[in-house]
Amino acid sequence: MRIIVGITGGIAAYKSPELVRLLKKAGHEVRCAATEHALEFVTRATLETVSGAPLYHDLFTGNGSSTEHISLKDWGELLVVAPATANIIGKVASGIADDALSTLLLAMPPERVLMAPAMNSQMWAHPAVQRNIATLKGWGVRTVGPAVGELACGTSGPGRMVEPAEIVEAALSTLHTPLSAQRWLVTAGPTYERIDSVRFVGNYSSGKMGFALAQALADAGAEVELVTGPTALSISHPRVHRTDIESAREMYAAATALYPTCRGAILSAAVADYRPAECADHKLKKQGDEGMTLTLVQNPDILASLGKMKTDGQLLVGFALETDNELQNAQGKLQRKNLDYIVMNSLRDAGAGFGTDTNKVTILGADGSRRDVGLRSKQKVAREIVSTVTS
Ligand code: CTP
C-alpha cells in the first residue's frame, strides 16, 4: 500500500520516524509530509532517510510543482496524520488550507485520512477541539487515540499520541475495507405494537445481534443503514446511519424505502407478526370483572417483501429463530422468501438467541452451502456472517 505520513508540530513528532519505519517494515511504500512546526521537532534528513523519499513540506519551493498536493493525493491510498495537533484538526474542520499538509488534507477524501491526535489534556477537552473532531469523524475521517498518560507539560491525562505500533494497526485495518462503496441495510431489535397510549405487544429482542452486524459491516468499509426498533443500545460509527422506529409497519416503510439503494440487506429484527386490530388513543380502563379479548391482525412481512423487490446483483439475508424442525423450516423460508442466505438460530441451544451476549448459528446459502458457527460473542458471529454473505 502507498501511505503518506503527515507530521505536525507536537512533541510526539519524535515518534513519527518510528511509525514510518514500522510501516515500511510491514511492506508499504511511505512518503512524508510535514508542517514547518513539525520540523522544529524532527528533521527533514531523518524523515527522508527513513521513508526513502523526498519530504513534502513547502507548497511552492519544495519539490517542484505547485500542484504536488494533488499528485501526492492521487499517489496515497491513506494519509496518516501523527501527531495531529489541535491546530491541524481545527484547520481541516474549518476548511483552511494554508500550508503543504493542510492543502493535502483538503484534497484527500476524508475516508482516506487517519488522525492520531496529541495535545495537552485541557486542549483535548476544549469544546472547540471536541467539536472539530466530531466534524471530521462525521465526514468519515478515522481517529486513533489519544491515549491517557504522562504529557510533555508535566501533567498526566488524555492527550498522549498512541504508540506507533498501534497507529500501524489502525492504519492497516482501515486499508482492508473490502466493502467500501457498498451500502447495506440492517434491521435490528424488537417492534412494539400499540394497544393503547401506554401499552404495547412486544418481544424480548435486545437488538444486540443487529447492532453487531451493523458494526461488522461498517468496520469492513460499508455504509450501513440501521433500522432499529426500541433498544437501549447505542452505536457510534461514522458509516452507520441509524433510523429509530417503533412498529412493524414503520420498519416496513423505512426498509422498503432504503433497500433499492443498497447492495444488500440483513434482516435480524424480531418483527411482531401481529398487531392489535385497534389502538386506543387513551389508556384503556378495566371493564368490571370481565376478561379482555385482544384482536390481532397480521403485519406486513418485511423480509418477504424485500425478496419480491430484489433485483439482480442485490443480496438478501434473513434470520430464522426456530424451536423444532430447524433445518427444514429455515430452508423453507430461504426459498419462499427469495433469500440468498438464512441465518438459523435454535432456541434449544443454550447461549443462543434473544437477549444473550453470545450466539450459535448455522448459515444456509441458496446455493446449498452450509456454515456452522459455534457458540461465541455476537460480535464474532456478526463478523462470520458478514464474511460469508459478502464473499
Ligand atoms: N421478518 C420480517 N417481517 C416480519 C416477520 C419476520 O422481516 N413481519 C423477518 C425477520 O427479521 C427474520 C425473518 O423474517 O429475518 C424470520 O422471522 P421468523 O419470525 O423466524 O419467521 P416468520 O417468517 O415470521 O415465520 P414463522 O413465524 O412461521 O416461523
Supply the residue whose CA is at minimum distance from atom 4 of ligand 1: 301
Q: State the Cα–Cα distance between residues 299 and 303, nearest whole angstrom.
A: 12
C-alpha cell, 388: 460469508
Catalytic residue list contains 153 = yes
Residues 300 and 339 in one domain: yes
Q: What is the pLDDT of residue 61?
A: 64
Total domains in the chain come to 2
55 to each of 177, 240, 315, how far by Cα in Å? 28, 36, 46
* 342 CB neighbour count, 10 Å cutoff: 25
Out of 205, 226, 273, give the residue to mutate to test ligand 1, the one with the largest number of ligand atoms within 8 Å of its CB.
273
100 to each of 7, 8, 51, how far by Cα in Å? 11, 11, 18
* 119 CB neighbour count, 10 Å cutoff: 27
Nearest atom in ligand 1 to the alpha carbon of residue 272 is 8
CATH number at residue 112: 3.40.50.1950
Q: In degrees rounded to 5, what are phi and psi of residue 146? A: -75, 160
Out of 186, 191, 256, 267, give the residue to mutate to test ligand 1, the one with the largest number of ligand atoms within 8 Å of its CB.
267
Q: What angle do CA 229, 232, 236 make, to 5 degrees?
A: 90
Nearest atom in ligand 1 to the alpha carbon of residue 329 is 29
Last residue of a domain, one of 175, 206, 227: 175
DSSP 243: E
Supply the residue whose CA is at minimum distance from atom 21 of ligand 1: 320
The pTM of this model reads 0.63
Last residue of a domain, one of 175, 204, 238: 175
- What residues does ligand 1 touch, defined as CB less than 6 Å away? 187, 248, 267-269, 271, 273, 299, 301-303, 318-321, 333
Residues 14 and 112 in one domain: yes
Residues 108 and 215 in one domain: no
Q: Return per-residue pLDDT of the chain as tens, 391 residues.
A: 789 999 999 999 999 999 999 999 988 899 999 999 999 999 999 999 999 999 998 877 655 456 677 778 888 889 999 999 999 999 999 999 999 999 999 999 888 899 999 999 999 999 999 999 999 988 889 999 999 988 777 788 889 999 999 999 998 876 656 787 689 999 999 999 999 999 999 999 999 999 999 999 998 889 999 999 999 999 988 789 999 999 999 999 999 999 999 999 999 999 999 999 999 999 999 888 889 999 999 999 999 999 999 998 899 999 998 888 889 999 999 999 999 999 998 777 887 777 788 989 999 999 999 999 999 999 989 999 999 999 8
C-alpha cell, 205: 429482542
**Distance from the CA of 278 to the center of ligand 1, in angstroms?**
22
Q: State the Cα–Cα distance between residues 319 and 336, nearest whole angstrom.
A: 13
CATH number at residue 262: 3.40.50.10300
Q: State the Cα–Cα distance between residues 192 and 171, nearest whole angstrom.
A: 41
Residues 124 and 264 in one domain: no
**Distance from the CA of 318 to the center of ligand 1, in angstroms?**
8
Residues 168 and 202 in one domain: no
Residues 206 and 105 in one domain: no
Residues 164 and 198 in one domain: no
**Distance from the CA of 296 to the center of ligand 1, in angstroms?**
17
Q: Is 147 exposed, middle or buried (CB count within 10 Å of its CB: 0-12, 13-18, 19+)?
A: middle
Q: Of 255, 189, 217, which Cα lies nearest the Cα of 385?
A: 217
**Distance from the CA of 272 to the center of ligand 1, in angstroms?**
8
Residues 126 and 225 in one domain: no
pLDDT in tens, 283-317: 999 888 889 999 999 999 999 999 999 998 899 99
Residues 121 and 270 in one domain: no
Contacting residues for 189 by C-beta, under 8 A, at least 6 apart: 205, 206, 207, 210, 228, 229, 230, 231, 233, 269, 270
Question: To the nearest whole percent, how much of the chain has pLDDT over 70?
Answer: 97
Out of 193, 226, 271, 323, give the residue to mutate to test ligand 1, the one with the largest number of ligand atoms within 8 Å of its CB.
271
C-alpha cell, 163: 504508540
Residues 300 and 351 in one domain: yes
Out of 303, 326, 331, 334, give the residue to mutate to test ligand 1, the one with the largest number of ligand atoms within 8 Å of its CB.
303
Cβ 278 vs Cβ 194: under 8 Å: no
Q: What is the pLDDT of residue 62?
A: 53
Nearest atom in ligand 1 to the alpha carbon of residue 187 is 11
Q: What is the pLDDT of residue 71?
A: 77
Give residue 368's domain range: 183-390
Residues 255 and 336 in one domain: yes
**Distance from the CA of 217 to the center of ligand 1, in angstroms?**
22
Question: Cα Rg for the chain, rounded, in angstroms?
Answer: 26
**Distance from the CA of 224 to the center of ligand 1, in angstroms?**
21
Q: State the Cα–Cα distance between residues 58 and 212, nearest whole angstrom.
A: 44
C-alpha cell, 327: 433445518
Which single residue is written with the C-alpha cell 440468498? 340
Supply the residue whose CA is at minimum distance from atom 18 of ligand 1: 320
**Distance from the CA of 323 to the center of ligand 1, in angstroms?**
13
Last residue of a domain, one of 124, 144, 175: 175
Supply the residue whose CA is at minimum distance from atom 16 of ligand 1: 320
Supply the residue whose CA is at minimum distance from atom 6 of ligand 1: 271
**Could you tell me which residues are beta bridge partners of residue 363?**
343, 371
Residues 77 and 139 in one domain: yes
